[in-house]
Structure 1
């Protein structure tokens, strides 16, 4: 039998997807009359239309068509506790009974702040509504305190919807208009050379970096690179900000604790409010005291308003989330992720496709890559990305009841078990048996 081509397989996969999801298609068409693109969160759009989900429980999602999927995306890392965690559910139900939106201080924000500060070694923190907002605030604080303008970021980074840097040559046209230096990620020599360039660094306010680029393909920074950034910040008087919105789930104290490198500021978000809206920025007391209205030393005081900064649902859910997420639970989840990534790469090698399909990541977060694999001096990356291969894989997985991001991003939860990992591997191997020829 003649093997089908990639284009034939993709065409058939799209046809099957459309015919299998008529209610989702109709929902998308209806929504598109009022929402541009039929959605209000761009990352959720997928061609020809996204699946509409109507319920979720544990680690499963149920679509409008009544199909059940194993969820390996889990709200892009925010769903670390899975869907409908009973402890978090009871906490939220209790809050609903006692009322919300006080317009005043509640009993939970102080407790959540204590838990976060103790877990991540932060001296003082403030809450926001998202990781995007947390990073915006951290940059703003750094500029005010240093009196400088330049922000060092890295190609491939995503620090929120207004702070996106797809490559060293491009950034989102929606980015806030700061003066950014966009450097190559994980490049020691570039940073060392930058440190010698007094013209470039004399007005450097902050260095903002992910210790593993989540949206950028789950590429992890080396400890040497992160230490070099610490040295640069110290030498220039800039503020080092670790964006741990995603990566804080990869080690009990975040990746900064794993690497033993303490930044001046840290930003957090995603899972830390048990699935509710949340962001956090914090760091050294000498930095964060600019928000202390009680200070009497004549120092600078900044205002940080925000209607939902201390929304009681997020505050209460966050307190419960920290209780659930013991070191043992976190380590078990990340070990399972390490197993999945290792075994996926072994499958790619078994079928001889490792130069066209492979997996990167740390612990419970990973990304599958499709294209021409190239080993760079500082990081492994896709020389020529194959969107069609990635799309074919995604349609295959979804058709077989496994849900992940269209771009190949995977995030585990504390509810995943070995049998769920084996199902992911089983469906992947079936894909390789059917389509390995187009990957060779």
Structure 2
């Protein structure tokens, strides 16, 4: 039996078991399709052939409609860094509820949260709040173009800056919607290629938007040299450099910019800084952000009913002051670095065609294509295997991990949270290695 045939058989068996084990989720999903396109309202959560429906969560665990328990190693795509039931946040939210839901005015908590974020990120002198990372990126691009009086926006292949700022230059299934900026797509981690593309438009480029590590694009870190060169290039051509640290902000108390000592003109934030509530923020140099200062004639308007939601403000402030400490973040990211190193050492030594990329507590599984030195020395078989799409191989890993009681994304994203301990991570590491080995056996005759 060929490698491709064995793989196809194994994937079919995994999907059949998935259907068998998740009857209630399948039933709910079919009903949801009557009211929601595709049965949901968040595309990143969709799973083929159908998604599992979650009933509740506690601590590091989530429970589905079919009474399965999973240890959560996805952490809601990095936003769920606190786990499912943090008592510190719960108490702060209850106190906020007692003070009133929507107050319709400024509160002290609003500027105290702003003060904390400004003190953490080297690039942020003034900051505005929004309701998502997507919104923060749209607003930061827009104000950057307004400030420079230019039209073009440099983004990078594989970059993800929100639901309407994604799939730049990528081959992917289906279509996508983009905010209609005048984009120039450049190669990530390739400063020479980027300079070549920018050269003819350098007087038109108002904004350079980059993730210090590609998130949805595969957890590929930008090299320090690449990111520093972007800083220098932006200064040279008079454009605004924006670091999208919606994910990488969890790598230190000041994000990756603080680790590298590279200061952009603006920074966008989101996800976990809302303490479990919808949140976005964008900030930067005073001369840019002062365009929003309502005291000034001709200031730029920026509304948003929930920009300063009392629940979000108090939960976010509590999270920053009591949970997102330097010690806690360093410990969590150390666990992620050790996890990635252990897995990559094992797969390298044992010639298993998988690897983990990432930084700290954010990681991604990838398939390493086989070569002629593989234990399967039949070139036709290797060619057949290498023709299998990475996402299809990740499907098999996803289903195997569910069977073992671990929750990650179907695309292979792994994100740690504060509820996980060393024993949880070791058990997950063993489960992932076991899955790698089981799949690798399909590749060996």
Output the TM-score relative to the length of structure 2: 0.92
SS at match of 1:219: coil
Partner of 1:64: 65
Partner of 2:159: 157
Partner of 2:6: 5
SS at match of 1:56: strand
- Structure 1 residues 82 and 200: CA distance shift in structure 2, 3 A: same
Q: Equivalents in 2 of 1:270, 1:243: separation in Å?
A: 12
SS at match of 1:242: strand
- Structure 1 residues 365 and 92: CA distance shift in structure 2, 3 A: same
Structure 1 segment 396-435 matched on structure 2, within 5 A:
396-435=400-439
Partner of 2:348: 349
Partner of 1:306: 304
The alpha-carbon deviation at position 53 of structure 1 amounts to 0.7
Q: Equivalents in 1 of 2:175, 2:24: separation in Å?
A: 33
Matched, 1:337 2:340: no
Q: Equivalents in 1 of 2:332, 2:225: separation in Å?
A: 26
Q: Equivalents in 1 of 2:252, 2:108: separation in Å?
A: 28
Structure 1 residue corresponding to 2:187, chosen from 181, 184, 188: 184
Q: Equivalents in 2 of 1:152, 1:294: separation in Å?
A: 32
Structure 2 unaligned spans of 5+: 372-385
Q: Decide which moves more: 185-194 or 139-148.
A: 185-194
Output the TM-score relative to the length of structure 1: 0.93
Note the alpha carbon deviations across 1:117-152, whole angstroms, 9 max, x for none. Answer: 111131000000000000000000011111100000
1:164–1:172 contact (8 Å) kept in structure 2: no
1:129–1:308 contact (8 Å) kept in structure 2: yes
Q: Equivalents in 2 of 1:373, 1:265: separation in Å?
A: 42
Partner of 1:145: 147
Q: Equivalents in 2 of 1:227, 1:384: separation in Å?
A: 37
Partner of 1:193: 196
Q: Equivalents in 1 of 2:440, 2:394: separation in Å?
A: 13
Q: Equivalents in 2 of 1:407, 1:131: separation in Å?
A: 21
* RMSD value, Cα: 2.0
The alpha-carbon deviation at position 372 of structure 1 amounts to 2.3
Partner of 1:386: 390
Q: Equivalents in 2 of 1:251, 1:84: separation in Å?
A: 23
Note the alpha carbon deviations across 1:256-283, whole angstroms, 9 max, x for none. Answer: 0111110100000011111110000000
1:61–1:68 contact (8 Å) kept in structure 2: yes
Structure 1 segment 129-144 matched on structure 2, within 5 A:
129-144=131-146
Note the alpha carbon deviations across 1:295-327, whole angstroms, 9 max, x for none. Answer: 3xx5x4100001111111111100011011110
Partner of 1:35: 36
Q: Equivalents in 2 of 1:32, 1:168: separation in Å?
A: 28
The alpha-carbon deviation at position 166 of structure 1 amounts to 4.3
- Structure 1 residues 373 and 262: CA distance shift in structure 2, 3 A: farther
SS at match of 1:281: strand
2:397–2:436 contact (8 Å) kept in structure 1: no
